């Protein structure tokens, strides 16, 4: 009798750390990921489910004595809710959880620094070590400078909404713990522009992550690369060997039910062999290169708008309950 072929998910775990991309922590145990990530859209979706109503109610109760304005209290309640979700997730995953800052402060370095410190303090007050939390910050110039300060203070960051090598280079130079290149959103943009379909290693989102990964390994940057925002399992398999991959529950389920062979595609050794030019950016050259990359400029702005809109919707939901 032939032994059963391990699932694609189990095969992938041999090369890559698997991270669950969800606010629905009830599903996490099924896939045994090492880490988990959340964002405003995922938390909004989860907060509207009956299964998590108790967390929303607790966040509201915990801010009952808040003396500020309604807007300030709802903002504080959102922070409480994010941390409560993070704590529940950390009861399930052995590693880290990523908690995202309000996208509306993406262009304010000092606000990102202050909020990052505040979120970490909220976790630590509840007995969670800062080593188990990554603060997610949009990869704007301002966000990257905030990351540099937070990392110096021992607060680890996950640079999100990252679509270009320029963003990745500055993130590494700022000693970010981790970056999250958005594979699927890059693919979406190119499909809309060209009308073409892309698969596997030809996928422009996959190619972007491969370039960044190889750059980091070639020059010895310790910043971790975590591919994110996948549209199909083909993209995921094409990045087998990437440091981490954060994957939605529906794609985790497909990988779990798939038994096709998974081969390692990325490795530090191969990255070191490549001929590459070291890059460096100050604010002016970073902004110019980002401006010249129409896809990265569009996707970064769109991502910030989308996350901000979902944060506003969550705030409206909370304020309705507060009233």
CA 56, 58, 62, 65 torsion-angle sign: positive
| Torsion angles phi and psi, residue 97, rounded to 5 | -120, 140
Q: For residue 74, which of 315, 293, 323, 317 has the smallest C-alpha distance?
A: 315
Q: What is the 3-state secondary structure (H, E, C) of 272-290?
A: HHCCCCCCCCCHHHHHHHH
Q: Which residues touch 214 (CB under 8 Å, ≥6 apart)?
A: 266, 270, 271, 274, 276
d(Cα 240, Cα 2) in Å, to the nearest integer? Answer: 26
Strands in the chain per DSSP E: 17-21, 35-37, 97-100, 133-138, 157-162, 178-181, 224-227, 244-247
Q: Which residues are catalytic?
A: 136
Angle at 166 between CA 109 and CA 176, to 5 degrees: 50
* CA 47 to mean position of chain CA atoms: 19
Helix/strand/coil for 65: coil
The residue behind tokens 């807007």 is 71
């Amino acid at each position: 009798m032939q032994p059963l072929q391990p699932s694609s998910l189990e095969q992938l775990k041999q090369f890559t750390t698997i991270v669950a991309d969800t606010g629905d922590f009830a599903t996490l145990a099924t896939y045994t990921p090492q880490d988990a990530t959340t964002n405003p859209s995922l938390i909004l979706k989860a907060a509207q489910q009956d299964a998590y109503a108790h967390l929303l109610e607790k966040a509201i109760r915990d801010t009952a004595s808040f003396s500020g304005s309604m807007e300030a209290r709802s903002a504080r309640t959102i922070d409480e809710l994010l941390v409560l979700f993070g704590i529940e997730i950390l009861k399930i995953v052995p590693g880290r959880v990523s908690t995202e800052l309000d996208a509306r402060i993406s262009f304010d370095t000092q606000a990102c620094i202050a909020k990052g410190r505040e979120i970490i303090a909220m976790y630590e007050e509840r007995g969670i070590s800062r080593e188990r939390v990554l603060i997610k910050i949009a990869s704007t110039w301002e966000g990257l400078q905030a990351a540099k300060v937070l990392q110096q203070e021992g607060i680890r960051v996950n640079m999100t909404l990252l679509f270009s090598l320029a963003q990745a280079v500055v993130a590494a130079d700022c000693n970010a713990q981790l970056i999250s290149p958005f594979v699927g959103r890059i693919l979406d943009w190119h499909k809309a522009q060209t009308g073409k379909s892309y698969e596997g290693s030809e996928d422009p989102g996959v190619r972007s992550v491969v370039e960044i990964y190889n750059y980091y390994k070639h020059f010895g940057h310790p910043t971790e690369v975590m591919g994110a925002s996948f549209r199909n399992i083909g993209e995921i398999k094409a990045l087998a060997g990437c440091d981490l991959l954060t994957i939605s529950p529906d794609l985790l389920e497909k990988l779990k039910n798939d038994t096709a062979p998974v081969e390692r595609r990325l490795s530090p050794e191969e990255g070191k062999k490549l001929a590459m030019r070291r890059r460096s950016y100050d604010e002016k050259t970073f902004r110019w290169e980002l401006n010249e990359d129409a896809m990265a400029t569009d996707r970064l702005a769109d991502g910030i708008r989308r996350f901000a809109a979902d944060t506003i919707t969550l705030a409206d939901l909370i304020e309705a309950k507060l009233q």
